[in-house]
Structure formats: C-alpha cells, structure tokens
C-alpha cells in the first residue's frame, strides 16, 4: 500500500546558498528550502550511504544547481515566495516490500510521470518503521518552460493513479475508496465539532431506529420529529426533509444501512425474533449516536465545602448571565441525549448556534451584564470608543513625514487591532439584543415541556403499578409525595 502526498517548496535563492554552506543543519528538514530539502532526502544516514538515491535529468549532487539553471534560462522567478519545486512523498506499509523494491517503484514512478519533462531526484529512506520515497521535482519543465500544475487532476489522475498502478503490478496492497469525497461542511464539522444538517439527520435516524419496532413505526417516528419522508415503490432513493430545512437528504448516503430495502429487511428480521431477543438484536445493528463535543465548553463551576479563614461568599449569578448559562447547558444536555425528547426537538434548530450563544455568555460574564439596559449601555460605550480610536487613526493616516513612517505604521496597526476587538464585542452586544427574548422564551418553554413530560412519565408509572393483577398499588413507592 502506497500513501502519497505532495507539497510545494518555497524560498529565495540566497538563503538556499547560505544554508548550503552550513553543514550542521543538513539533517533538519524544512519543506520551504530547495537545497535543504535535497540535503534531507539524500542524507546518507537515511539512505545507507547513497545506495538508494537516483537522479533523473540531473545527478543528485548537482540537482539544486541544475534546477536553478533551468529557471534562469527560461526566465522563471526564483524570488522569495515563488514555488521552486514540489516534494512528493510515497509511503509504504511496514514489512510489505524490500528497500530495493520500494526504490525501484519510486524510480519507475518518476520515469512514467516526471522524467520526460522535469528534473527530479528519488531517495528511499530506511530510518523509519515504514519505507518511503522522497521525490523532489523542479517546478519548471526544462523542455518547454511550463510550470508543474499541482491541482486535483494532477494528483488523482497522475500521482495517485500511477502509484496505485505500480503497487498492483508489484502485488502490493492499494488503498481502495468508493470514489466519493467528503464535503467541506462535513470536514469542518469533524474538525471543529460543530454539527451540520447531515449529522443532525443521521442522529435523528438512529434515534428513530432505536425507538421503532416496525418499518411503519420508523416512518412515524421520523414524521413525529418534523420530517417529511419520501419512500415507496415510486421513489428511487429514500429521503427526508425537516420542516426547517430547504432540501431533502438521502439517508442511504449517510449510511448504507439506511436504504429502504436494508431498513425493511432489518425490521422484517426483528419482527420474527422473540421479544426477549429484540433488544439484543437492536444493540448489535443500531449504532450508538455519536456525541458532539464543542471545541470550547462553557466552564461549569463545582461547589466544594471547606473551612478556611480565606473563604469568600459566592456571588449569585442572575439576569442574562444565568439565563444564557442555563440555556447553553441545556443545549449540550439535549444534544448528548440526556434531556427529554421534547427538549431535544424544541432546541435542535439552535444546536448550530451554540458558538454564538457561548460568545454572548462569555461577554456577559466578563463585563457582569445582567440586564438589557446594561447591555445597551455597554454597546453605546463601545461605539464611542471605536469612534475615538478611528479619529486617532485617521489623523495618523494623514501624516506623511518619512522619518517617522515606521513608528506611525506600528501605531496604526495597534489602533486597528483595538478597533477590531471592540467591533467584535459591539456585534456580540447587538446579537444579544436580538436573541435575548428568544432565548428566554425557549428556555421557559423547554422547562415547561420537560416538567410536563416528567409528570406524564410519573403518571404512567403510577397507573401501571395501580393495574397490577394482585391489586397492589405500589403506594409505598410514592409515599410522602402524593
């Protein structure tokens, strides 16, 4: 199996020449220096005394000089910031191939893909647990002066395709994919922990599968959650659309187990099982919902009792601060499945706004703002500060004395940073004014729904105990409370 990746090499010529004269740094890798990169890939400690280093259209010793000569001959830039070369890394699984075979694959890769137009070197490193090739290719073609294009087509139709072909020819494993990439929203969601429409639909489908015992019950659960479901013989792919969404989502693309045929087969097998085995069958086939962990959770204070002369009374949080703290905590609790179902479906539209509410909570706590009037006063104060700093910066912009230019630009940058911070707080205050009433109303409704659901559960439990065959009402369980 060969894993490939490519990255550009950037630097200017003078620093490359200076770095060449410093032998103490030739073993430290930096991907922004062409000569340093060539020194690293051809390091004798990593390649067994140059046994696995090969040059194409150049020799490993003069590769840097030849690449720069090509650029100068064709009038290509070698200044700071320009792309001097590209570094391709081809890694193999541990123990899958010998060093000779890995180096042979790297050389054949260079012949098929690069050697007809570019200077390049191939070095096989043996110092890691896995064997890997370093291919350094000039960014300018010595044949026609055209630049090496580092884009999706070059990688997927060139680098990765040829590397996989060589692995198959040498009977090595290949990374197989389904041909479907990951969208930017899903990638960002996985990186930041912020939920997306697809992740919320996936979570709701899992909840519906766990709650239903038949396919019709599964459809009913989704409809109760606010989804419109398209299914049946006239529908090619089963899809759902929430009442707050703009388009449908194919649930079989979320997981192959969510296709209509797979779901019908799942519930058909579940129906033929005994009642005592259904729970075990569900646990085996219905995956647990993935928990969402925001990057920065709101700090939760823990109360501890101790005796000390330094102890101070705890300040009680009230007003907007208490409201936002409770709402953020309720959002986390509902998304993790620890709140009631009514709270979950009431608050699900605000899961994606968690960061917005968290920023508002931090601002309220930092400035101890507890009422709407205090928020408006703080917003007015921020606006005055921004105007004063903007006037000071405007005066500096009009000054044109050359001897004081560096100091003036530094002061302008300092004022710009201050204005940026104050504007950010100003926008958060404006969001608080717009969201405060909505947050308070949703918090009140969520508490009412949660209390009502708890009362219904207690009432159902009481009725169930009261209808026991032996006539026992279980009054001792609720003694003192009813």
CA 65, CA 63: separation in Å to the nearest integer?
Answer: 6
Residues forming beta bridges with residue 291, ordered by sequence position: none
Determine contact, residues 132/90, Cβ cutoff 8 Å. Answer: yes
Reply yes or no on whether the pLDDT at 476 is more than 60: no
Closest residue by Cα to residue 435 from 343, 327, 299? 327
Highest mean pLDDT among 13-22, 120-129, 409-418, 466-475: 409-418
pLDDT digits (tens, 9 = 90+) for 132-173: 888 888 889 988 888 898 888 888 888 988 999 999 998 888
User: Model confidence at 475, in pLDDT bands (50, 70, 90)?
Assistant: very low
What is the per-residue pLDDT for 25? 29
pLDDT tens, residue by residue, 57-107? 888 888 888 888 888 888 887 776 678 888 888 988 888 888 888 889 999
Predicted confidence (pLDDT) at residue 374 exceeds the cutoff of 80: yes
Whether 249 contacts 239, CB under 8 Å: yes
Q: At 108, is the pLDDT very low, low, confident or very high (cuts 50, 70, 90)?
A: very high
Give the mean pLDDT of the chain: 76
Bridge partners of 4?
90
The pLDDT score that the predictor gives to residue 300 is: 56
Could you tell me the domains of the chain? 2-169 (3.30.930.30), 184-285 (no CATH), 319-456 (no CATH)
Q: Does 303 score more than 80 pLDDT?
A: no
Q: What is the pLDDT of residues 218-253, one digit of tens each?
A: 999 888 888 899 998 888 889 998 887 788 888 888
């Amino acid at each position: 199996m060969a894993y490939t990746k490519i990255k550009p090499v950037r630097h200017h010529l003078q620093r490359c020449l200076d770095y060449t004269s410093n032998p103490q740094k030739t073993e430290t890798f930096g991907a922004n220096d062409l000569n340093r990169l060539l020194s690293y890939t051809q390091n004798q400690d990593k390649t067994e005394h140059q046994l696995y280093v090969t040059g194409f259209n150049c020799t490993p010793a003069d590769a840097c000089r030849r690449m720069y000569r090509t650029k100068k001959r064709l009038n290509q830039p070698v200044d700071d910031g320009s792309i001097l070369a590209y570094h391709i890394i081809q890694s193999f699984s541990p123990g899958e191939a010998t060093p000779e075979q890995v180096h042979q694959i790297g050389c054949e890769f260079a012949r098929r893909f690069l050697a007809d137009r570019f200077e390049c070197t191939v070095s096989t490193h043996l110092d890691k647990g896995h064997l890997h090739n370093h291919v350094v290719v000039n960014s300018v073609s010595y044949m026609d002066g055209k630049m090496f294009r580092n884009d999706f087509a070059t990688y997927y139709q060139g680098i990765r395709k040829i590397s996989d072909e060589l692995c198959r020819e040498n009977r090595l494993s290949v990374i197989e994919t389904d041909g479907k990439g990951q969208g930017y929203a899903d990638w960002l969601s996985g990186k930041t922990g912020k939920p997306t429409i697809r992740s919320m639909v996936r979570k709701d489908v899992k909840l519906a599968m766990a709650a239903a015992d038949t396919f019709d019950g599964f459809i009913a659960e989704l409809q109760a959650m606010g989804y419109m479901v398209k299914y049946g013989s006239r529908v090619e792919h089963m899809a759902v659309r929430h009442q707050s969404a703009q388009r449908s989502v194919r649930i079989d693309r979320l997981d192959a187990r969510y296709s209509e045929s797979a779901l019908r087969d799942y519930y058909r097998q579940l129906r033929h099982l005994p009642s005592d085995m259904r729970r075990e069958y569900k646990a085996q086939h219905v995956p647990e919902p993935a928990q969402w962990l925001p990057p920065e959770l709101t700090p939760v204070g823990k109360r501890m009792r101790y005796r000390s002369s330094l102890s101070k009374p705890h300040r009680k949080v009230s007003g907007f601060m208490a409201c936002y703290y409770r709402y953020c905590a309720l959002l986390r609790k509902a998304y993790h499945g620890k709140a009631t179902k009514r709270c979950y479906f009431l608050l699900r539209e605000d899961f994606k706004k968690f960061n917005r509410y968290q920023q508002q909570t931090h601002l309220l706590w930092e400035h101890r703002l507890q009422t709407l009037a205090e928020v408006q006063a703080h917003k007015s104060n921020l606006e005055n500060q921004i105007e004063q700093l903007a006037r000071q910066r405007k005066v500096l912009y009009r000054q044109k004395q050359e001897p004081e230019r560096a100091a003036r630009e530094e002061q302008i940058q300092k004022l710009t940073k201050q204005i940026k911070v104050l504007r950010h707080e100003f926008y958060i205050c404006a969001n608080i004014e717009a969201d405060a009433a909505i947050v308070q109303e949703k918090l009140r409704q969520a508490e009412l729904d949660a209390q009502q659901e708890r009362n219904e559960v207690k009432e159902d439990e009481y009725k169930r105990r009261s209808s026991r065959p032996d006539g026992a009402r279980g009054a001792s369980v609720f003694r003192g409370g009813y």
